[in-house]
A = this chain, B = another copy of it.
Amino acid sequence: MIATPESREADLIGLIGELYPICRSITGEGVRETLRRIAQRLPIAVHEVPSGTQVFDWTVPREWNIRDAWIKNLNGDRVVDFRECNLHVVSYSVPVRKRMPISELKEHLHTLPDHSSWIPYKTSYYREAWGFCVSADQARALADSEYDVCIDSTLADGHLTYGEFYLPGDSAEEVLFSTHVCHPSLCNDNLSGIAVAVFLARWLTTLAHRRFSYRFLFIPGTIGSITWLARNRDRLRAIRHGLVLTGLGSRGGLVYKRSRIGTAVIDRAAAHVLKHTAGENEVREFIPYGYDERQYCSPGVNLAVGCLSRTPFGEYPEYHTSADNMDFVEAGQLEGSFMACQSIVRVLEDEARYVSRMQMCEPQLGRRGLYSSMGGAGEARVQEMAMLWVLNFSDGHHSLLDIAERSGLSFESIRRATVLLHEKGLLERMQTDGSAAFDALHGEIGESAR
């Protein structure tokens, strides 16, 4: 059951289209409905955490739900209608039902002057307030009159909901993927991240063999990661590598933001994959602002978790507006992001140190059929060079990723050369504790030291 790129592109776009109409927030039915749709594709566990639960310095907030909202003119016409676009209501708006003059109403209106037809996206999670987001054109069209305003929402004790998918591997050491599910009808931020995560998890389940266990979190931003971290403190030390996935469907190259550690294997693996992936890709240093990596990379947590996106939040005008819609995300970009995640996983899975059984001088590759005596070209040439790199630096100190970085060759070329050389008995794989390589090294080195 390996998806072709074409079918997966359709799957990615299909899931985004299915989730797009749902009004999500950091709590409430929108999140639950989203998780139900995900559960049709991936056997996630759904967790409910009661309002009022203390999670580190934070408290799980009351649950917010909304049924309807509108601004009507005195004729009773809905001039602003939540049913048309769920961005119209400031997320976590308290209930309101009142007639008011336009002057009072305007204090609760948010617009985007620079993009007069776009509706902004606003939230007020931790301060009680209400408001409408409308296009500048809509605001301008409002007559100097009175309006009936209704937000039919509830803000009451309930739960914070998140989804979790755990896929065991050979080792209890984990790779964490985290993506936020708290944004309403916004496609790139973050239905793209959700879709890539779902299909990445599905692909991982198809693998015959997994070195690592994998954990996928579908959580509301900030409070969700804080809640998960607070409830899983004893699991943190098992997390070896991780990625926050977000904004993966828009134009632009891939952008990897390093973990706070900065030189972790995930940082090097992601940087390597971006270097060897076509496009104007970019690696950035960690800053303590952004998505949930802020929490995963807080000083006492300090996990090796980076963030993969395309053009980062705030750097494209459609960000947090109604223009981040189904037209804004591109199937090819989603597929490219998916494939970069696959490549990163492959580096994590295959990263290892090998030891050459020939420490003194090169082995004779020609008589093993590994070397064209008349000189190779093209891909064969790359493969020969990769073999020389692997043999020379498989000294017990350099891993495949080390060798890929030093040689400038792709991890995949280095990995393939390693497989070939291993099949010919020229390499031995080092155990994590280094012990198994002792004989390989000392066969040669011991002799040379006589």
Contact = CB atoms under 8 A, between A and B. Distances in A.
Nearest to A292: B361
A432 interface: no
A445 B298 CA distance: 12
A364 to B, nearest CB: 5
B299 A393 contact: yes
Nearest to A371: B126
Contacts of A288: 388-389, 391-393
A450 B234 contact: yes
B233 A447 contact: yes
Contacts of A222: 362
Contact of A57 (B55, B297, B362, B388): B362
Contact of A361 (B56, B122, B407, B450): B56
B444 A300 contact: yes
Nearest to A357: B57
Given A124-B373, A366-B126, A392-B288, A301 B360 contact: yes
B360 A56 contact: yes
Contacts of A395: 299-300
Contacts of A301: 359-361, 448
B234 A361 contact: no
A123 B236 CA distance: 59
A392 B126 contact: no
Contacts of A447: 233
Given A299-B392, A388-B289, A391-B288, A448 B236 contact: yes
A295 interface: yes
Contacts of A229: 360-361
Given A374-B122, A407-B287, A300 B360 contact: yes
Contacts of A385: 287, 289
A394 interface: yes
Contact of A127 (B55, B58, B366): B366
A444 B300 CA distance: 7
A252 to B, nearest CB: 22
Given A288-B388, A299-B392, A299-B394, A364 B124 contact: no
Given A56-B360, A362-B57, A373 B300 contact: no
Contacts of A361: 55-58, 225-226, 229-230, 295, 298, 300-301
Nearest to A260: B392
A300 B57 CA distance: 52
A356 interface: yes
6 contacts: A233-B360, A236-B448, A288-B392, A289-B385, A300-B361, A301-B448
Given A57-B364, A126-B373, A294-B388, 11 more contacts: A126-B364, A127-B373, A225-B361, A233-B448, A234-B450, A288-B392, A299-B359, A299-B392, A299-B393, A301-B359, A301-B361
